[in-house]
Amino acid sequence: MSTLRIPEVVPSPTEDSQTLMKSFKGLGTNEKSVISVLGHRDASQRKKIRETYQQLYNKSLIDDIYSELSGDFRILPFSKYLGISTIASYSRDTLKAVMLWTYEPSERDARLANEALKSRKKTITQLQVIAEIACASSPDHLVAVRQAYCGLFNRSLEEDITANVPMPVQKILIGLVRSYRYDKELVDPDTANAEAAILREAIRTKQLDNDNFLIILSTRNVHQLRATFECYKQNYGFSIDQDIKSCGKGLLESILKVVIWCIDSPEKHFAEVVRASVVGLGTDEDSLTRAIVTRAEVDMMKVRGEYFIANKTSLDNAVIDDTSGDYRKFLMTLLGAKV
């Protein structure tokens, strides 16, 4: 359930491209026009805009967005000759959000995965990005992300996971991104019951990187896995993520919790990503941006609902309280607010 608001009468890709080009001309950029156009178009419409922009101007829309909005501070042209120090402040966060939104979704996620794998830190904040792509996306989207990754970085996603992620988390993530889950809504109750027992034994013995444990999580379709998780709770009294948590507080346990949530209830996971990004001092803009940009067209209405249930306040208010300026306007536009 998307939160995206698309106008009843959508301008043609040519009109949208012309509006964007006009917004880039002159002193500074008309961010309102950029947000108004791109923030109210779905993925297929944005693709047509990118293609049309390239045809009309022989330029990449992504490149123009970057060149116009990049840098936290840019001195306006000619301002030094006017004897003033006029500075236009362009938020790095706004730039990143707009660019991620404008990319083809598979390229967007490939870039997010690469950023996570190349980051200095390899905590759950970074590595959960890989689990999200593998477990909260369709099988076809995962394949498209892997193809985009190879095209962009001349390496496979699996190679970079191997090079950058320590064992045993490496083994888990490799298994997840290599798999192609059957996407039909088929459930075998006997299999669910039997595999719940296998998962239970692996957790009881704290062998969370057990091959059978990984095969179940990486190959079964999400409907089968949800049935297995339900059997687990009925048979053993606790949810599987609760029992995994009892095994320890390391990176392996944390990534498996994300895997379980992304399979069982993606909206619950992304509500937690938003909460973690705004709680305490400061804001984790990268996580906040990722959650909203990647789910706005998927299930953001459900994420909103889960957020309210867990935090007794609205997700919209949390975003408003922790952001400002064009960054806030863009995120709120994707959340369906009128700004």
- Among 211, 222, 298, 307, residue whose Cα is nearest residue 268: 307
Q: Say how far apart CA 144 and CA 133 lie, in whole Å.
A: 11
**Which residues does 32 contact at the CB level (< 8 Å), separation at least 6?**
329
The answer to whether the beta carbons of residues 119 and 165 sit under 8 Å apart is no
The predicted model gives 167-186 an average pLDDT of 91
Contact 76, 87 (CB under 8 A): yes
Would you say residue 87 has pLDDT above 90?
A: no
Q: What is the mean pLDDT of residues 197-217?
A: 94
Cα pseudo-dihedral 330, 333, 338, 339, rounded to 10:
0
Residue 22 tokens read as: 């006009």
- Indicate the residue type of 173: L
Hey, how many other C-beta atoms are within 10 angstroms of the C-beta on 1?
12
Is the CB of residue 299 less than 8 Å from the CB of residue 1? yes
From its phi and psi, is residue 280 left (phi > 0), alpha (psi between -120 and 50) or beta? left
Q: What mean pLDDT do residues 60-80 have? A: 61
- Residue 166 pLDDT greater than 70, yes or no: yes
Q: Which helix (H) or strand (E) holds 310?
A: helix 300-311
Burial (CB count <10 Å: 0-12, 13-18, 19+), residue 18? middle
Please give the average per-residue pLDDT across 218-238, as a whole number: 96
Say how far apart CA 227 and CA 256 lie, in whole Å.
18
Q: Could you tell me the two tokens for 71?
A: 């840098």
> Are the beta carbons of 183 and 138 closer than 8 angstroms?
yes
Band of the pLDDT at 25, cuts 50, 70, 90?
confident
**Residues paired with residue 87 on neighbouring β-strands, in sequence order:** 75
Instruction: Say whether the peptide bond before residue 166 is cis (omega within 30 degrees of 0).
Output: no
Task: Provide the strand spans (E) within the chain.
Answer: 73-75, 87-89
Q: Residues 160-183: what's their mean pLDDT? A: 94
Instruction: Yes or no: say if 54 and 14 are a contact pair by the CB < 8 Å rule.
Output: no
3-state secondary structure of 123: coil
Model confidence at 92, in pLDDT bands (50, 70, 90)?
Answer: confident
pLDDT tens track for 268-291: 999 999 999 999 888 899 999 999
Is the separation of the CB atoms in 292 and 328 below 8 Å?
no
Q: Strand pairing partners for 88?
A: 74
What is the C-alpha separation between 112 and 49, in angstroms, rounded? Answer: 22
d(CA 135, CA 269): 11
Q: Which domains occur in the chain, in start order?
A: 13-90 (1.10.220.10), 104-180 (1.10.220.10), 182-264 (1.10.220.10), 267-334 (1.10.220.10)
Spatial distance between the Cα atoms of 95 and 93, rounded to a whole number of angstroms: 5
Average pLDDT rounded to a whole number, residues 32-60: 96
Whether 85 shows a pLDDT value over 90: the answer reads no
Confidence at residue 76, expressed as pLDDT on a 0 to 100 scale: 36
